Structure 1
Amino acid sequence: MDDAYTVGDPDGLSPLLREIRDAVARELHAQLALRAEHLDLADVPEVAYQVTLGVDRVLTGRLTPPRRTSAGR
């Protein structure tokens, strides 16, 4: 049992896991809105990619991934 249950957190998730859950939910909501609340099987890889970017933003604290430039090599 996670300590979160003993300190009154009803979902039992750590703050980081709550942020990840929320990022996934936001991205799924956005993707469903873009696709008229319907996902085709062919859409799953793109949706998974967008969810992964959202989780990466949570884990790294960045709003956008850094862009590579020739000067940055």
Structure 2
Amino acid sequence: RMVLPRVDTPNDHGSGCSFAAATAARLALGDDPLDAVRAAKDFVHRGLLGARTWRLGGGHGPIDAFGWDG
């Protein structure tokens, strides 16, 4: 099981695409599939944490894919 605490944020836009891209990138680097998914999950989780306090417009904002606030 791969469980992390839920991040309470409206800023989750792009989380699915980021997860898929991070998984593909890790596979391209030679990770086995399970390790690639774990790394992608951690990447997206950090992105959600980093964006949790952002207030951008009135809808769902982006995750912090660059680690600016994480």
Question: What interval of TM-score do these two structures reach, taking the shorter chain for normalisation?
Answer: 0.3 to 0.5
Please state which structure has a larger fraction of its residues in helix.
1
Name which one, 1 or 2, has greater alpha-carbon Rg: 1
